[in-house]
Structure 1
Amino acid sequence: MTQINTDIFLAALDSYDWRNVQPNSRGRLNASTPFGFREDKMPSFSVIIDPDSPDFGCWRDSGANNPEFARGGPVKLYAFLRNITYEEAREELTTGEATEDGPPKLRVKIKPPTIAERPKPIDISVYKDDAVPYLTDRGISPEVQRMFDCGFDAQKNAVVMPWHDPSGAPINAKWRATWGKNFWYAEGGSPVRKMLYGIHLVYARNIRRVIVVESETDAMYLWSNGYPAIAVGGSTFTDSQAEMLRMSPAQEVVIGTDNDAAGEKLREEVAAKMRGYCELYDVRWPEGAKDANDVRDEIALRRAVKAAIRRNIFTSTRNIVSTHIVI
């Protein structure tokens, strides 16, 4: 087994919101599966957390809906918990240091300079579809699905959502299972921490006002309702993503992250890195809605966006200017 940094792996486990954790499991974490919402009476997921065990980080899910997620090693689990590619997860765990804006670095490793390679496009044409029922059921119009080149992988029963560079070339894609929370990225795709989902449309359409959200479905749902949006793809806003947004035509950024602790942290990261480069606004989703895609009432969605409040460029959200914006 590849040598991994146990501290970083355990930190990722500790920060995840596990359900039905069983105490005193003797070197294992036993809990409900992180890969779906099964109402299992007894926790079906188990991962070995004893650093001295030769199988440290190995896990199994006895109630898995798909054999691919019935068992695996630490890298696969870490990639899921951090919402990053397998390659990024392997790099973080094996070098002992997190990648850009990830968890705190626990070791210092000096690397020689390398020549940056231009991300290579990936072929997603075989998966393209006019409309995927899974996305349509979530309020995402067929027109927007085609705009984002979405498709469906019948063999894996998963939605395929390509990520594009600013020029519009697909350089990664996210597979999202229709049978659970499982997801994975294209092998060899560009690191998602360096990209913004939907940024190619901001560049191509000269979008001046854009909403920043967390997930691909949030962004596409807002587009389906007439609001240009981009997604960071997780709960961190990296320097590369910030620079990509700064270089875009966007002059007004509306921050619409999730209604939870991770969303608030991300909100402040976006504000801190974009402050001084554009006008900043906060949009809050109605009570009971975790994110933009949860606001299925069109009137409530429009009311929330219209109530976005402008931030004072010199202060945080604790001292905001009550100027409203209509998108």
Structure 2
Amino acid sequence: MNVLFMMERRPNAGSIQAVASYVRAAGQMGHSFALFGRPDPAYPDVACSTDLRSFDHVVVVVESGLHWLDGLRAPRVLADVPRRRRVVVDADGMYGPRVCVDGYDRNHQNEDERAKWMASLDALADRVLQPRITGPTDGAEAFPFYGYDPYRVHRRTRSAQFDVLHVGHNWWRWRDVSTVLLPAFESIRDQVGDIGFVGSWWDALPTWFRSAGLQAAFATDPERLADLRIQVLPAVPYTDVVATMSAARVNVMTQRPLFRRLRLLTSKYFEIFTADTIPLVLLDRDHAAQVYGPAGADLALGDAVADKLLDALGQPEKYGELVGQVREHLEEHHTYRHRVQQLTALLGGWEGAP
């Protein structure tokens, strides 16, 4: 099967890591997957194409905005690709009812915005997928779009540079970081070595955020980070994410509250387990076990975050065994070979439906 992904192309954000893994796994399995657009050295391992008509199906990955479809792209998709051959992956939980978590994180500011999103996605395809394992979808279908790529498993060649890293942009993260992670760091700071935050907007706000009504999404306190001697480092391209994670003994993964509420998966769920590190995840224990298997529950940060960090740093062999068990579970259930099989079966079944 020939499948073309369309998405906003960003080398250091979004789902580009997943698409690269789909392209590789599909090629190994006799399929041809590609990314819409011209070849670009920023995506060295991704086949690219602009020939919409040469593909059996188009998968439109929607993250945050639809501005990248403006101009000629949307009309071309609608004109060149029959509706039955299009599917949308709603990566940010925009398709469905308005959800607001504790008056903080939300998928839509109001019902008018929600209605516009629903209409836009309905115009693209009859079928909308959301990246989750199970659960109610309110019109969208659960499909675990992201996966584990054992091809990318990294082995550190020198001593870890950091004791703890957080790799990810400051996008609806500050509430959990400021109320959960930073108090834990404060209580054990003298017992932990270097700590780093890698990503955009931790020490500077984007110039355009006020006009977008997203003040809460980018809230931060650079002085507090500096007081805790936390090094803030710029975002890295997707090709360097796993190696960057491997520079730390422990990596902490956070998810924006909306995603935790909706149990949406992201690339980070899986790529953190390809790094040579101990992943600790800010997820509920039952959700961690659902994704990672029984061992995953023991890698959830829980309520005693400071104790968990010290335990992981002090007992690397114990946690290394847990990580190994999770990797075995991911290889059995969540590789991109599994995802290619699931996606091609889904697309083929839809094409044949009346």
Shorter-chain TM-score above 0.5: no
Normalised TM-score (structure 1): 0.32
Normalised TM-score (structure 2): 0.30
